[in-house]
Amino acid sequence: MAGPASAMAISILMDAVPAERRGRAMGTVMGAFSAASVLGVPAGLELAHWAGWRAPFLVIGGVILLLALVTAWRVPSMRGHLEGDDAELPDRSRLAALLGDYRAWLAYATIGVSVVSGFLLIPNLSTYYQLNMGYPREDIGLLFLVGGSISFFTMRLAGRTADRLGPLAVTVTASLGYLAVLYWGFYLALPWLPVMLLFCAFMIARTTMAVSANTVVSWVPRPRERAAFMSVKNAFQHFSAAGGAFLSSHILSQDETGALLHVPELTLLAMVLALGQPVFMALLLRRLHVRL
């Protein structure tokens, strides 16, 4: 249920926040997703350790029930998008119209190329840092905690900057930073680079690209299409993540020590795909008649 729930949350945000302030709102909400990911895993492990494996599931169920009650109490009814000339169209016709919109596919491509680029590397980061760069196993938890915590604040800053300077400028800057991280940290694999600095820079670039992309993507659907559009976007995003991880597993191999081989080749592919996000975003903004 997490996918539909997150799609609904972003749809509510799109209904409630005007486009000119949506970057800041998107950064705040996506920062909450990041914090939940960073804090949720260790919290769940501790709960399972102290109260048994059922405890995390019971706590999650209780929190969801509480949020449902608060939502029913505080969130106003949003049914204005149900009115219009096509209000009586069957859902299948609406979905067909949505998928027939060239702008929707540009939006999905903007998200997809970036996600594939990231997930070529993300599933293997822990192994790479430990066995290729010699980072201590006992410090991996701290590494991900610091990187995830920094991304929480980075997303908020990225959203505000996207509102002020425009999401394309933010995307281009973040993409250049991401390419630099990939080149120095993965393609050349410079041994003197501090792993903590490398990972934090990776997270900052990735999360900034994500916020700016999702801000632009939120401008595409009309009000009555938002929930369906975001659901398809989430499905496409998850498919892209799975595709990136699957592809990396067929490119990488390991030597007798467990270190990853063919990382430079994988990195080059990730760099090429990362260049696609600003390109597709620029094309999408032109279709939306937004001044670049």
What is the per-residue pLDDT for 20? Answer: 72
SS3 annotation, the chain = CHHHHHHHHHHHHHHHCCHHHHHHHHHHHHHHHHHHHHHHHHHHHHHHHHHCCCHHHHHHHHHHHHHHHHHHHHCCCCCHHHCCCCCCCCHHHHHHHHHCCHHHHHHHHHHHHHHHHHHCCHHHHHHHHHHHCCCCHHHHHHHHHHHHHHHHHHHHHHHHHHHHHCHHHHHHHHHHHHHHHHHHHHHCCCCCCCHHHHHHHHHHHHHHHHHHHHHHHCCCCCHHHHHHHHHHHHHHHHHHHHHHHHHHHHHCEECCCCCEECHHHHHHHHHHHHCHHHHHHHHHHHHCCCCC
Q: What is the pLDDT of residue 4?
A: 67
Q: Which CATH superfamily is domain 2-79+92-287 in?
A: MFS general substrate transporter like domains (1.20.1250.20)
More confident residue, 227 or 291: 227
Confidence at residue 80, expressed as pLDDT on a 0 to 100 scale = 57
Least confident of 50-54, 72-76, 131-135, 168-172: 72-76
Least confident of 19-23, 215-219, 281-285: 19-23
The pLDDT > 70 percentage for the chain reads 84
Q: What is the pLDDT of residue 131?
A: 94
Q: Is the pLDDT of residue 246 over 60?
A: yes
Reported for 76-85, long-range contacts at CB under 8 A and 24+ positions apart, including other chains, are 78/12, 78/15, 78/16, 80/223, 81/15, 81/222, 81/223, 81/224, 81/226, 82/224, 84/224
Task: Decide if pLDDT at 36 tops 90.
Answer: no
* Residue 56, pLDDT above cutoff 90: no
Domain ranges of the chain: 2-79+92-287
Closest residue by Cα to residue 95 from 235, 243, 193: 235
| pLDDT band (50, 70, 90) for residue 240 | very high
Q: Indicate the pTM of the whole model.
A: 0.83
More confident residue, 157 or 77: 157
Question: Given this model, what pLDDT does residue 117 score?
Answer: 96
Q: What is the pLDDT of residue 151?
A: 86
Give residue-wise pLDDT tens across range 81-126. 555 555 555 555 666 777 778 899 999 999 999 999 999 999 999 9
pLDDT single digits (tens) 158-186: 989 998 999 999 999 999 999 999 999 99
218 has a pLDDT exceeding 90: no
pLDDT at 88: 52
Q: What per-residue confidence (pLDDT) applies to 1? A: 55
